[in-house]
Amino acid sequence: TDAPMVPVNSYPYLFWKIVWLEATGNVKFAPEKAWGHDFGKTGDATADTVYTIPATGGDNIPVPGTAGYYMVVVNLKDKLISIADPKVYIGGDCVGGAYSNIAENKFTVDNANAKLTITKTLTAGDIRMWAWHKYFGAAQTPSADWWQEEFIVLNNLIEFRGTGNDQTRVPLTAGSYKIELNFKTGAGSIATVTK
């Protein structure tokens, strides 16, 4: 009941959050921790579990039916809500300066252990992380960039950039790492892997 959405930097109508949803139940949204301005959906979901936001109020949104992590995105401009599989990537100097959604830099969703993980050999340099959804891409003019949905792991916590400025850098030495993100608890870890 206390799950603030993350604003997409420079897009005041776009919000996202990776959440754990149970197999049954419903969700709604509100700009405050109170009833009265809450909103849900109108009608049934279209392809890719997309709902339309009504002018006011609306019905509860049912969860997809399988417990696990989902990326929930609210687009207030187009009046759409999406519930999709999470897409999270690493980038930065540690992967040769890549800042795009490259498959080999994508986290794996491990619902059995309630984590998103990636194990990878990295070069020395800063690591950056971000979430991605199609609403951030070609549907926007101009499309949002990776840093506008960025977050870092700092002091074993997931810290979201949101509408803020550049975050604290997280430099790594060259080596093999396992990165784990627990969006249920907000915990994150970046650990070296020994052979």
Structure tokens, 62 = 């049912």
Per-residue confidence band for 67, with pLDDT thresholds at 50, 70 and 90: very high
pLDDT, one tens digit per residue, over 3-41 is: 899 999 999 999 999 999 999 999 999 888 887 888 999
Number of H helices, E strands in the chain: 0, 18
What is the pLDDT at residue 138? 67
Whole-number pLDDT of residue 32: 85
> Both tokens of residue 76?
């207030």
What is the tens place of the pLDDT at every residue in 157-184? 999 999 999 999 999 999 999 999 999 9
Q: What Rg value do the Cα atoms of the chain yield, rounded? A: 17
Instruction: Please write the tens of the pLDDT for every residue from 108-153.
Output: 999 999 999 999 999 999 999 999 999 998 666 678 999 999 999 9
**Which pLDDT score, from 0 to 100, does residue 13 have?**
93
pLDDT of res. 68: 97
Please give the C-alpha separations between residue 106 and each of 26, 68, 103, 118, in angstroms, as whole numbers.
Answer: 29, 18, 5, 7
Average the pLDDT over 53-61 and give the result.
89
Query: For residue 98, what are the β-bridge partners?
Result: 92
Coil, strand or helix: which one is 105? Answer: helix
pLDDT at 33 (0 to 100): 83
H or E segment at 128?
strand 128-131
- DSSP E strand boundaries for 33-127: 42-46, 50-52, 61-62, 68-75, 80-84, 88-91, 108-110, 115-122, 125-126
In whole angstroms, what is the distance from residue 194 CA to residue 176 CA?
Answer: 8
| Stated pTM of the model | 0.94
Q: What is the Cα–Cα distance from 87 to 109, expressed in whole angstroms?
A: 9
Q: Are 113 and 150 in contact (CB under 8 A)?
A: no
Identify whether the C-beta of residue 69 lies closer than 8 Å to the C-beta of residue 116.
Answer: yes
pLDDT at 142: 75
Report the C-alpha gap between 16 and 140 in whole angstroms: 15
- The answer to whether the CB of 127 falls within 8 A of the CB of 172 is yes
d(CA 134, CA 82): 10
pLDDT tens profile 101-120: 999 999 999 999 999 999 99
